[in-house]
C-alpha cells in the first residue's frame, strides 16, 4: 500500500518566488509529500523533465508521482491523501487526473468532445469561474483516454509507456503519454472530481500547440477515433 507521493513542479520562476505554493502543498497535501521543484528558465520540454522523474533523475522516491502546474491553488485539504487512496483502492488505474476525455481524434482539443469529465475553477484578470466539463462524479473515477496536464498522478509501477521526448515545449506532453498507455492496455486512466483546484491562468492555443498536434496525429491516426468502450 502506498503512503506517500512525490510532487514534480516545473517553473520558470525560482523556488523563493514560489515559496507560497510550496508551503500550500505541504499544508494541504494530507500525507507524506516529497516536493521536486524544477527551476526551468530556459523552457526545457516537459517531456524531458517528466521522464527524468519517472527515471528517478532527480530523486523521486515514491511510486506515485503528481505532475502539476505552478499556478494551482488547492481548494480542498487532503488532496495528496486522496490520490494515494484512489491508487490504492483502484489498482487497475495507473494515471489519474482532474479533467479529461473518454474520446480522442484528429481535432485533438479534448475539451470539445462530448464525453468529457472534471471540474476546474479558473481565475484570470480578477475574475473567477467554474469550468465544469461534467457534473461532480458520483463515483471515485471515470475512465478516460486522456487527461489534462494541469494536475495528474502517475503510479510508476503500473504504466507501460513513458513520455515521448520528441515532443518539445509545453503542449501534448500529457496527451501523448496518456494515449500511448491507453492503447497499450496495461493500465486504465481516470478522472476524479474529489480533488478541487483553482487554476490561476487560462490556456492559449499557440503555434506550438498546432505543431505538436500534427506530430500526435501522425503517430496515432491509425487508431482514430480513440474511445473508452
Which CATH number is 148's domain given? 3.90.550.10
Residue 202: the pLDDT is 77
Count up the domains in the chain and report the number. Answer: 1
Q: What is the mean pLDDT of residues 158-167?
A: 98
Assign 3-state DSSP to the chain and report helix, strand, coil percentages, each to 5.
Answer: 30, 30, 40
Quick check: 203 pLDDT over 80? no
Work out the pLDDT band at 69, boundaries 50, 70, 90: very high
Host domain of residue 217:
4-227
The number of residues making up the chain comes to: 229
For 31, how many CA atoms within 13 A lie in the half-sphere containing its CB? 17
The pLDDT of residue 201:
83
Going by the DSSP 8-state scheme, the letter that residue 16 receives in this structure is: G
Distance (Å, rounded) from C-alpha 166 to C-alpha 5?
27
Report yes or no on whether pTM surpasses 0.85. yes
Q: Tell me: the pLDDT tens digits for 74-114?
A: 999 999 999 999 999 999 999 999 999 999 999 999 999 99
Closest CA to 188 of 229, 218, 224: 229
Look up cell 515514491; give the residue: 62
Amino acid at each position: 500500500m502506498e503512503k506517500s507521493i512525490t510532487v514534480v513542479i516545473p517553473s520558470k520562476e525560482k523556488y523563493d518566488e514560489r515559496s507560497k505554493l510550496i508551503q500550500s502543498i505541504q499544508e494541504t497535501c494530507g500525507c507524506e509529500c516529497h516536493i521536486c521543484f524544477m527551476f526551468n528558465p530556459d523552457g526545457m520540454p516537459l517531456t524531458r523533465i517528466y521522464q527524468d522523474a519517472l527515471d528517478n533523475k532527480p530523486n523521486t522516491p515514491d511510486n506515485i508521482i503528481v505532475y502539476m502546474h505552478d499556478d494551482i491553488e488547492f481548494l480542498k485539504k487532503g488532496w495528496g491523501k486522496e490520490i494515494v487512496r484512489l491508487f490504492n483502492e483502484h489498482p487497475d488505474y495507473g494515471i489519474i487526473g482532474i479533467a479529461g476525455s473518454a474520446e480522442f481524434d484528429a481535432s485533438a482539443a479534448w475539451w470539445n468532445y462530448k464525453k468529457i469529465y472534471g471540474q476546474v475553477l479558473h481565475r484570470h484578470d480578477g475574475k473567477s469561474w467554474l469550468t465544469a466539463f461534467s457534473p461532480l462524479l458520483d463515483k471515485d473515477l471515470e475512465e478516460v483516454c486522456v487527461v489534462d496536464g494541469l494536475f495528474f498522478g502517475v503510479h510508476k509501477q503500473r504504466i507501460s509507456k513513458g513520455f515521448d521526448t520528441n515532443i518539445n515545449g509545453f503542449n501534448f506532453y500529457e496527451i501523448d503519454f496518456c494515449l500511448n498507455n491507453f492503447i497499450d492496455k496495461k493500465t486504465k486512466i481516470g478522472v476524479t472530481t474529489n480533488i478541487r483546484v483553482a487554476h490561476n491562468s487560462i490556456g492559449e492555443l499557440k503555434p506550438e500547440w498546432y505543431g505538436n498536434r500534427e506530430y500526435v496525429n501522425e503517430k496515432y491516426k491509425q487508431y482514430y477515433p480513440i474511445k473508452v468502450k
